[in-house]
Structure 1
Amino acid sequence: MRVLFLVSSLHQGGAERQLVTLLHGLDRKRFRSIVVTYYPGGTWEESLRRLPCVDLHCLGLKNRFDLAGMIMGLSKIIRRTRPDILYGLLGDACTLALIHGKIIGKSRVIWGLRATNVDFSQYSLISGLVYRLNAYLSTRVDRIIINSWAGSKYHADQGYACKRITVIPNGIDTGYFMPQPDKGADLRRQWQISPAIPLIGRVGRLDPMKDYATFLKAAKTVAARRPDVRFVIAGDGPDQILDDLKALSCSLGLDERVLWLGPREDLPAVYSACTLTSSSSSFGEGFPNVVAESLACEVPCVATDVGDSSRVLGPGGMIVPPGNPAALAEAWERIISLSQQQQRHTGKKGREHVIDSFGIQKMVHATEKVFLSVASYL
């Protein structure tokens, strides 16, 4: 069976990582994968090129408004590869998959959606328009895969065809995301942070939904009470957002307390360097990968109660209300005040929870089942 995955890019991100994880796990005797991106490059491009049974194509678009390039380029690839299923991942990739699968061609169509409670005022006008258009078109899709129960309810409430929705939580590679105490210690030495100093980490792209402002305001509170605590932020995003966040950090008096790492490819080591991590998102999260990844590395996490964060966190930390710096700071202080033995116990419980609930094979097998079910109507 040939499955064509359409995604805007292969840059580092939760959706992109999950796609790569799925492609690694799919049964190569049953599935041939075709990946089509809008733009070239990205963190995952080379690894996919080396993966057997995966054909990688790029539309080479100038921008997202290059509609002619989208439609004509994808049409050529579809005619050449003849996929049985078109799988659109997020936004206009879903729309484009539907156009080609149901209007131009005769392929089955699956959508992959992830977000919850999105504040579209924080993004481009076209993003909100595409979201509402897709809600209207969703009855024509064969299946919609959503990675969280909160996301399933949210999309159904927004008018998406609830009978088409299947929830498949993300799969976490616990063979990759695992404790790396030696590498974590090496990073601390590079950063000149001694093992005794509490280090609070925030991993994730620089995006409005991640609410880094709340993280920084909580950091100010904790820094005032605990002169020894340091903070580290690992993630990439638009230059304007980074500049604004650094200006906020400076205005809060955190210049000497926050390390800005930018994008990292050694995330297990970054997690392992931290005493605890945090997800401060205020909206939009479905399944927060960074929470599960941190727990898989046996590092406790404090997460805001957005999307399925409480399900993902389990016994591995604390849940607090979103947009509440005081609550976030209090939870951090409670965890860093625990003994090292108690912190390790919480981290181990978190890893056990991720292994039991969010293993890769569960995600892959559930997705394969959807593919086979959809293809049975061919």
Structure 2
Amino acid sequence: MRLHEFQAKDVFAEADIPTPPSALATTVDEVVEQAERIGYPVAVKAQVHVGGRGKAGGIKLAEDEEEARDAAESILGMDLKGYQVDKVLVEGAVDFKNELYVGVTMDRGEGKPVAMVSTQGGVNIEEVAEENPDAIAREHIDPAFGMHPYQARKVVYDAGVPKELARGVSSVLTTLYDIWEDSDASDAEINPLMVTTDDEIIAADAVLNIDEDALFRHPEFAEYETEAAENDLEAKANEYGFDYVRLDGNVGIIGNGAGLVMTTLDLVDYYGGKPANFLDIGGGAKAERVTNALDMVFSDENVDSVVFNIFGGITRGDEVAKGINTALEQFDEIPKPVVVRLAGTNAVEGREILNDELVTVEETLEGAVQRAVEYAEDEQ
């Protein structure tokens, strides 16, 4: 479960990580009211689960009431990378001189949590990792003992954080690790962790993603769960019990198994396309579940084509084929081109059942992905 920035900041502030004064608003008048209460200048920040909000126009600074009203009118209701903004965070602007990054996640290759610090905060940390990996200092943590104070100090010094800031950044990182561990989180990040002109440290952004399988241990997050679904698509995913993540591309992807879906995403990217989503319908999916998955993907206005990648094991190919036919026969006209690849149990029977007037059938995954990418390009 991905928490919104304002929710994550509530958790961080409760743990004594410094955050700017802020308040949530859903109308223009509320934005102005909260801005005047907090005091100008303020930042008006769209509360959606996407990166690059500032570049996309989802974060604006306001020096006075007129600018706050203009910012609210511009951001509330806007479509931000496929998400409609219905709430914003009004936050006191920070007069800063430097931006850092601190984060904790699981390094699956090492099988351990890893704490990360970089002096190149305020930008997409994935880009930093790809273009200049040495700019991110890392320290693996033994989960049996937690983060030792010396480890927090070491990774901060390795990152090149100035000595006068090291103690404060180490303290924030230690607290962030405790939050990550205690919350059963998958990711906990502050980007940027701002250094003010007075050498104070403030979390200007906050990311906290909770492992959904552990939510039963965390009743304190129950109030956040109803707001975890960012839009109708994610609400549908929760209702149907799908593992779903919306992405920025236009090739819809459906598969039965996380590894299979990830492979399909990689191939879409390899063949020049852009994935629109991650959608895993699960290993035992039958006709009704497949129908629900297609309904979800067709509901995404960003999708220009759909690739369906099914490997029959628990899921029989003929059951999947029936589900695809059932879903598509509901439409007078198929809204998006659909490409299907079936392999494994009863795959031959499934391919024979599929209505090739409604879908394109490919025997190989590579062929299916290439065809879906071509269809998506034709639709643009």
Task: Normalising by structure 2, report the TM-score.
Answer: 0.28
- Tell me which of the two structures has the higher relative contact order, counting C-alpha pairs closer than 8 angstroms and 6 or more residues apart: 1
Computing the radius of gyration from Cα coordinates, the structure with the larger value is 2
The structure richer in strand per residue is: 2
The structure richer in helix per residue is: 1
Task: Normalising by structure 1, report the TM-score.
Answer: 0.28
